[in-house]
């Protein structure tokens, strides 16, 4: 009862702030329009500069303060008819178990995310409910955990626990957009609006965190505490691995105008034990007063402490993806094509190295070398240079070996690709170089150097065998 009362009070405070914002903004508009009139009637002075500033500012504020119905941009693949009906059926069944209507539209997202919201609303009123579910989550989460995730999202709009949720969410977004337009269109009193924005964000963030807690409780009651907590851990794990795949492999190719097989690439990336291990070691973001979600550790501890066994009606959202892989691959490519501002070309992963990544590696190498000193060395001197960098790493620094591997591996790969070697980049392993049937695993070799698994004499032997020892790194980079 105490939690529900606190949530209701914060929600009412948000609505009060929203109303106060409009009243204050109208007061500012009237004051700006009245100031030139007062100067003329009472002071007998006409200052065209002041008149222009006041009326331009008032007009900008007046235009910006009224929310507009924004054009809806589909966030992913809309489920229609029998296409992906297994997914829509699972969502409808869970919604029925929770005693609420199923979302009007369901979108499959390329990102490992899940959310529920509204479209075609005006300041939080009206519109229809839409649900977004990430294809990577469907791909990787077991059926019971996926069911818990869907129950959590539907819990945001449960009539019993979050009756004010839709209005708060959309009011938050609407007001944020209004303030952004105000501060962009007029600099007269932007400081006041920025202060108001911080206050509004502080209050609504507290409401959002409470909404997440309520949705977690609904997921625990429906799927069981342990299953709901495991689902949250799994989602975070998938998001970390996906971020590594997206940032290092997929997004660079997309930026170059190529679209390799998206789901195939992610599945191949999951076989890359080293990259996935590094992704798992990434720290969790720390919470703050402005965080929309409670801290992960506290959320999981709270969920497990509930000790809910789950309802007997809890369903598994099991989806036979093997029947949908081809369709999902094509639809994801269509989503990226729709989002892109340039024409994109389908590309096999085996062709990505030379066509998409060679330029990217050269660009990264130039960026990396800006922070490196004493790089006027040949490939033969690389082993000694690796240990110069390792010794310069701060004591206790995490992932220093991985940073050195990434930086020098990229630099040497870019240099050798300009010296007759072909670059091969696929998600399941580190990039490699080939030439006339020979392979050079340069990233693995640099990584071995950082751990002293390869001696300087062994590196000399490799350089002599592959004919790369005399290639000067700095001079080659200057020709890129």
Contacting residues for 167 by C-beta, under 8 A, at least 6 apart: 11, 15, 124, 125
Residue 9, in any domain of the structure:
no
Give the span between the Cα atoms of 269 and 250, in whole angstroms: 10
Residue 176, in any domain of the structure:
no
| Same domain flag for 220 and 147 | yes
| Same domain flag for 206 and 268 | yes
Q: Give per-residue pLDDT as tens, 361-373.
A: 999 888 887 767 7
Q: Which residue in 350, 343, 137, 355 sits closest to 261, CA to CA? A: 350
Q: Give per-residue pLDDT as tens, 307-357.
A: 888 775 555 666 666 667 788 888 888 888 888 767 888 999 999 999 999
Residue 87, in any domain of the structure:
yes
Q: Point out which residues pair with 440 in neighbouring strands.
A: 433
Instruction: Supply the pLDDT for residue 74.
Output: 87
Give the span between the Cα atoms of 11 and 205, in whole angstroms: 11
Residue 473, in any domain of the structure:
yes
| Same domain flag for 367 and 327 | no
Report how many domains make up the chain.
2
| Same domain flag for 328 and 417 | no
Q: Which residue in 207, 198, 165, 164 sits closest to 179, CA to CA? A: 198
Evaluate whether 401 touches 450 at the Cβ level (below 8 Å): yes
Please say which residue of 339, 358, 376 terminates a domain: 339
Residue 61, in any domain of the structure:
no
* Domain of 469, in residue numbers: 348-478
Residue 115, in any domain of the structure:
yes
Instruction: Supply the pLDDT for residue 11.
Output: 66
Please say which residue of 309, 339, 369 terminates a domain: 339
Residue 112, in any domain of the structure:
yes
Section 439-461 average pLDDT: 92
More confident residue, 170 or 266: 266
Give the span between the Cα atoms of 462 and 457, in whole angstroms: 9
Contacting residues for 261 by C-beta, under 8 A, at least 6 apart: 329, 348, 349
Both tokens of 148, joined, read 């818990």
Q: Point out which residues pair with 122 in neighbouring strands.
A: 125
pTM metric for this prediction: 0.83
More confident residue, 393 or 465: 465
| Same domain flag for 201 and 307 | yes
Residues 222, 225, 231: CA angle, nearest 5 degrees: 85
Instruction: Supply the pLDDT for residue 53.
Output: 77
Residue 33, burial from CB neighbour count under 10 angstroms (0-12, 13-18, 19+): middle
Residue 185, in any domain of the structure:
no
Q: Point out which residues pair with 115 in neighbouring strands.
A: 132
Mind giving me the DSSP string for 215-232? HHHHHHHHH-HHHHHHHH
Q: pLDDT band at 158, cuts 50/70/90?
A: low
| Same domain flag for 288 and 402 | no
- Find the helix or strand (DSSP H, E) in which 426 lies: none
* Phi and psi based region of residue 403 (left: phi greater than 0; alpha: psi -120 to 50; beta: remaining): alpha
| Same domain flag for 393 and 445 | yes
| Same domain flag for 200 and 106 | yes
Please say which residue of 339, 370, 391 terminates a domain: 339
| Same domain flag for 226 and 299 | yes
Q: pLDDT band at 440, cuts 50/70/90?
A: very high
Q: Give per-residue pLDDT as tens, 212-244.
A: 888 899 899 888 999 999 999 999 999 999 999
| Same domain flag for 263 and 124 | yes
Instruction: Supply the pLDDT for residue 161.
Output: 40
Evaluate whether 80 touches 194 at the Cβ level (below 8 Å): no
| Same domain flag for 318 and 217 | yes
| Same domain flag for 284 and 420 | no
């Amino acid at each position: 009862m105490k939690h529900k009362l606190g949530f209701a009070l914060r929600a009412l405070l948000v609505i009060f702030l929203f109303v106060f914002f409009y009243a204050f903004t109208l007061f500012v508009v009237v004051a700006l329009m009245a100031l030139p009139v007062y100067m003329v009637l009472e002071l007998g002075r006409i200052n065209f500069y002041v008149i222009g500033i006041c009326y331009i500012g008032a007009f900008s504020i007046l235009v910006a303060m009224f929310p507009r119905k924004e054009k809806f941009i589909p966030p992913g693949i809309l489920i229609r008819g029998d296409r992906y009906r297994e997914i829509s059926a699972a969502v409808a069944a869970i919604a029925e178990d929770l005693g609420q209507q199923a979302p009007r539209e369901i979108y499959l997202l390329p990102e490992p995310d899940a959310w529920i919201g509204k479209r075609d609303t005006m300041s939080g009123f009206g519109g229809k409910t839409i649900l977004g579910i990430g294809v990577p989550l469907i791909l990787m989460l077991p059926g019971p955990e996926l069911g818990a995730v869907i129950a959590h999202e539907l819990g945001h709009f449960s009539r019993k626990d979050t009756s004010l949720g839709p209005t708060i969410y959309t009011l938050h977004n609407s007001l944020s957009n209004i303030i952004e337009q105000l501060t962009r269109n007029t600099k007269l009193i932007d400081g006041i609006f920025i202060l108001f924005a911080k206050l509004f964000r502080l209050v609504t963030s507290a409401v959002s965190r409470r909404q997440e807690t309520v949705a977690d409780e609904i997921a625990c009651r429906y799927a069981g505490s342990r299953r709901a907590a495991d689902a949250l851990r799994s989602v975070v794990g998938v998001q970390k691995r996906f971020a590594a795949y997206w940032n290092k492999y997929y997004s660079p190719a997309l930026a170059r105008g190529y679209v390799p097989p998206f789901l195939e690439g992610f599945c191949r990336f999951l076989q890359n034990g080293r990259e996935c291990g590094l992704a798992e070691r990434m720290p969790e973001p720390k919470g703050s007063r402005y965080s929309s979600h409670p801290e992960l550790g506290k959320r999981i501890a709270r969920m497990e402490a509930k000790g809910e066994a789950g309802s007997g009606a809890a369903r598994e959202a099991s989806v036979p993806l093997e029947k949908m892989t081809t369709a999902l691959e094509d639809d994801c490519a269509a989503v990226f094509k729709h989002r892109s501002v340039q024409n994109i070309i389908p590309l096999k992963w085996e062709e990505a190295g030379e066509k998409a990544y060679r330029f990217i590696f050269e660009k990264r190498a130039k960026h990396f070398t800006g922070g490196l000193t004493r790089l006027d060395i040949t490939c033969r001197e690389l082993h000694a240079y690796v240990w110069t960098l390792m010794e310069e790493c701060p004591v206790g620094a995490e992932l220093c070996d991985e940073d050195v591997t990434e930086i020098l591996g990229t630099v040497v790969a870019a240099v050798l690709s300009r010296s007759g070697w072909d670059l091969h980049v696929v998600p399941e392993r580190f990039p490699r170089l080939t030439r006339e049937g020979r392979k050079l695993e340069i990233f693995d070799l640099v990584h071995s150097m950082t751990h002293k698994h390869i001696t300087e004499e062994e590196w000399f032997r490799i350089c002599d065998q592959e004919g790369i020892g005399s290639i000067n790194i700095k001079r080659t980079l200057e020709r890129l």
